[in-house]
Amino acid sequence: MISTKGRYALRVMIDLAEHQSDGYIPLKETADRQEISEKYLEGILSILVKNNLLSGLRGKGGGYRLTKSPEQYTLGSILRLTETSLAPVNCLDPNREICAKMSECRTLPVWQGLDKLINEYLDSITLADLISSSEPGNDYVI
């Protein structure tokens, strides 16, 4: 399950992509548009800045902006920073100990296949795809 942090990170990145021609966007503007607490948003933005997905500028005229074009950001790359894991089961989580039953697990290939599908799918969608989408119901509420 994708956490609130991951969903909000996607919403913020989409918002900044839609407003990239405005230069640095103040935290307050993004928080107001997305109806996210400024304090909670600060934590998400610091992760994104630390990993060079965003650049931040302090002071008057400051705020946040994308470091690359929207086509260069995949949903997978964003979610991997904000989520503990995208693995469908604990035994595939790279941060966990290797499961003692892995060598005899008959369901492991199913979970590995699902994990591959999840990652390939999320890596196939860019911010540009989401901001250019005009299908009804695609109002990017995640």
By CB atoms closer than 10 A (0-12, 13-18, 19+), residue 21 is exposed
Instruction: Return the structure tokens found at 41.
Output: 């948003």
Is pLDDT above 90 for 7?
Answer: yes
Q: Which sign does the torsion angle of CA 8, 11, 13, 19 carry?
A: negative
Is pLDDT above 80 for 135?
Answer: no
CB 66 within 8 Å of CB 27: no
pLDDT digits (tens, 9 = 90+) for 18-56: 999 899 999 999 999 999 999 999 999 999 999 999 999
- pLDDT (mean) for 113-128: 96
pLDDT of res. 136: 47
Per-domain boundaries in the chain: 4-85+126-132
CB 74 within 8 Å of CB 122: yes
pLDDT of res. 140: 53
Percent of the chain residues topping a pLDDT of 90:
73
CA-based nearest residue to 9, from 48, 58, 67: 48
Q: What is the pTM of this model?
A: 0.86
Is pLDDT above 80 for 137?
Answer: no
Is pLDDT above 50 for 92?
Answer: yes
Q: Which alpha helices (DSSP H) does 2-37 contain, by range?
A: 4-18, 27-34
> pLDDT band at 139, cuts 50/70/90?
low
In whole angstroms, give the CA distance from residue 115 to residue 92: 8
pLDDT of res. 95: 82
When computed from its CA atoms, the radius of gyration of the chain, rounded to whole angstroms, is: 17
By CB atoms closer than 10 A (0-12, 13-18, 19+), residue 74 is middle
> pLDDT band at 60, cuts 50/70/90?
confident
CB 76 within 8 Å of CB 89: no
Domain with residues 4-85+126-132, CATH architecture: Orthogonal Bundle (1.10)
